[in-house]
């Protein structure tokens, strides 16, 4: 059973019910909805389609809402896309208009106050480079140094320019409310710069009654890389968003930042997603490049919980094949991972009983040859702690809460299952044994590890570990 999780962006190429079913069957674990594009009504319809496809396939899939955050973006452009040719001028304006090759609207009136002649502007994840010629009358005249195609609502990067955009805008709060209403399982916040940026969203989730929804901090600004430890502590997980990182930082530093971020997340038992251009060539090709395959494998060796697909599944020619390829790379890589070293280096070491039991359970896998760990969980916390210690056997997370089952789909090595709660210890042990057999991870005569909280049915009370031999 594959341990590394696959997050895939749902878009025009992948939102049809039949395609979603095939993606789930191929290994999709978390469906990402990019709220920087499309309307809330369209996303709500996509969530309904994902739920229906998941039910037909018979496997729960979580939905991740990716909130745009404080990023400069283009406004609408004519036909959805325009081509900027090298060595041509273009005006960036705050006027409300439909963009053309000569004039592009920017969804922020303060741009002209920040720019001066000689400044560089990047579009399309750095593929397009503009050089500011002059600023006048609230508009920016720039020359296209490297051309290409720009799209409506596409992001803009201004390296070395400090902006005072709010961490969470009114539009972001509105989109989060919309996401809560449609039942998203995880929220990812873009362009986090410090731990306090998470507070407004955390409060909003609690006020809505969905305080248990995990909040993922996207690390894509230099300030976030500098404040990484405090952000990891404050968030429920992180996303290493390498696209913007590679523009805002010297690109040669991105691999080192990635390794440091994944190490920090592992030490704190927080899940991490590695994102951007992982199998980018498969947007148009049937096979990835060797460099892309190596990149995915290296992220897994670095300790990522999940690998993410963006354009590959949103607009790519064959989203199902991309997921199948990602799954194959992960399964091959997992055969050679440094599980023993990870048990020493990863996970929380404290006097917390749940953390200690998680560590001991994974150690018992190697000492006693356990075939699986079965972890009944109310909140998903125990499964997350076990996952962080990286057992090389499946972890079955049994929960009576469908929302928790979907969230646990992000945790490395965890295979969540919807399971009725039990009131007595003997019933709990029997249920765990039956689940291991049903999942095909162990059989008669095999030993499994069982974690539990006694008395049963209380969140945050994991205080028991049992080695159990199946009959």
Taking the C-alpha atoms of residue 215 and residue 168, their distance in angstroms, rounded to an integer, is 13
Q: Is residue 8 helix, strand or coil?
A: strand
Q: Is residue 449 helix, strand or coil?
A: strand
Q: Could you tell me whether strands 237-241 and 215-219 are parallel, antiparallel, or unpaired per DSSP bridges?
A: parallel
Contact 348, 269 (CB under 8 A): yes
Element (H, E) at 115: none
Active site residue 259: no
Q: Annotated catalytic residue: which of 4, 93, 274, 276?
A: 276
R_g over Cα of the chain: 23
Taking the C-alpha atoms of residue 240 and residue 101, their distance in angstroms, rounded to an integer, is 33
Lookup: tokens for 152 = 């409506």
Active site residue 133: no
* Buried/exposed 72-87: b ≥16 CB within 10 Å, e otherwise: bbbbebeeeebebeee
Lookup: tokens for 156 = 């803009």
Alpha-carbon distance values, 173 to 152, 164, 183, 236, 320 (Å): 21, 18, 15, 19, 33
Element (H, E) at 205: helix 199-207
Sign of CA dihedral 32, 279, 54, 62: negative
Taking the C-alpha atoms of residue 130 and residue 421, their distance in angstroms, rounded to an integer, is 59
Q: Could you tell me whether strands 156-157 and 120-123 are parallel, antiparallel, or unpaired per DSSP bridges?
A: antiparallel
Other CB atoms within 10 A of residue 143 CB:
14
What are the residues whose beta carbons fall under 8 Å from the beta carbon of 393, sequence distance 6 or more? 365, 370, 371, 372, 373, 441
Active site residue 5: no
Contact 412, 424 (CB under 8 A): no
- Residue 467 sits at φ, ψ, to 5 deg, of -90, 120
Q: Which residue reads 């939905």 in tokens?
A: 63
- Residue 428 sits at φ, ψ, to 5 deg, of -60, -45
Q: Annotated catalytic residue: which of 2, 32, 51, 210?
A: 32
Active site residue 276: yes
Contact 388, 355 (CB under 8 A): no
Q: Annotated catalytic residue: which of 22, 59, 71, 218?
A: 218
Give the strand order in the sheet containing 414-418.
414-418, 395-399, 373-376, 447-453, 462-469
Taking the C-alpha atoms of residue 184 and residue 46, their distance in angstroms, rounded to an integer, is 11
Q: Annotated catalytic residue: which of 56, 73, 131, 260?
A: 73
Q: Which residues are catalytic?
A: 32, 73, 218, 276
């Amino acid at each position: 059973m594959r341990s590394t999780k696959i997050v895939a962006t749902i878009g025009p190429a992948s939102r049809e019910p039949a395609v979603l079913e095939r993606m789930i069957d191929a290994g999709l674990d978390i469906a990402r909805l990019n709220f920087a594009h499309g309307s809330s009504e369209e996303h709500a319809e996509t969530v309904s389609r994902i739920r229906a496809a998941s039910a037909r396939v018979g496997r729960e899939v979580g939905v991740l809402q990716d909130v745009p955050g404080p990023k400069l973006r283009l406004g609408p452009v004519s036909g959805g896309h325009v081509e900027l040719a090298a060595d041509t001028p273009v005006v960036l304006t705050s006027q409300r208009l439909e963009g053309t090759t000569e004039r592009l609207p920017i969804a922020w009136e303060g741009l002209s106050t920040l720019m001066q002649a000689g400044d560089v502007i990047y579009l399309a994840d750095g593929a397009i480079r503009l050089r500011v010629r002059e600023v006048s009358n609230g508009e920016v005249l720039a020359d296209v140094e490297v051309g290409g195609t720009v799209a409506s609502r596409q992001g803009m990067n201004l390296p070395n320019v400090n902006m005072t955009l709010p961490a969470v805008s009114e539009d972001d709060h509105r989109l989060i409310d919309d996401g809560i209403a449609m039942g998203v399982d995880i929220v990812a916040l873009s362009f986090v710069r410090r731990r306090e940026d998470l507070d407004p969203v955390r409060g909003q989730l609690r006020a809505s009654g969905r305080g248990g929804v995990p909040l993922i901090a996207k690390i894509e600004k230099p300030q976030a890389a500098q404040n990484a430890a405090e952000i990891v502590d404050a968030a429920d997980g992180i996303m290493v968003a390498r696209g913007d990182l590679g523009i805002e930082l010297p690109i040669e530093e991105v691999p080192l930042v990635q390794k440091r971020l994944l190490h920090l997340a592992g030490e704190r038992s927080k899940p991490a997603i590695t994102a951007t251009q992982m199998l980018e060539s498969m947007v148009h090709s049937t096979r990835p490049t060797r460099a892309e395959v190596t990149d995915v494998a290296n992220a897994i060796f670095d300790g990522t919980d999940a690998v993410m697909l963006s354009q590959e599944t949103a607009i790519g020619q064959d989203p199902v094949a991309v997921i199948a390829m990602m799954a194959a790379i992960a399964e091959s890589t997992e055969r050679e991972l440094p599980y023993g070293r990870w048990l020493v280096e990863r996970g929380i070491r404290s006097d917390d009983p749940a953390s200690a039991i998680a560590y001991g359970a994974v150690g018992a896998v190697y000492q006693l040859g356990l075939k699986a760990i079965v972890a009944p969980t109310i909140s998903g916390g125990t499964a997350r702690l076990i996952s962080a210690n990286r057992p090389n056997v499946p972890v079955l997370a049994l929960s009576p809460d469908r929302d928790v089952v979907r969230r646990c789909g992000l945790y490395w090595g965890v295979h969540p299952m919807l399971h009725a709660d039990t009131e007595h210890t003997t019933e709990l042990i029997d249920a765990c044994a039956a689940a291991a057999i049903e999942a095909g991870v162990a059989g008669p005569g095999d030993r499994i590890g069982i974690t539990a909280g006694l008395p049963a049915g209380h969140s945050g009370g994991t205080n028991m570990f049992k080695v159990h031999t199946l009959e």
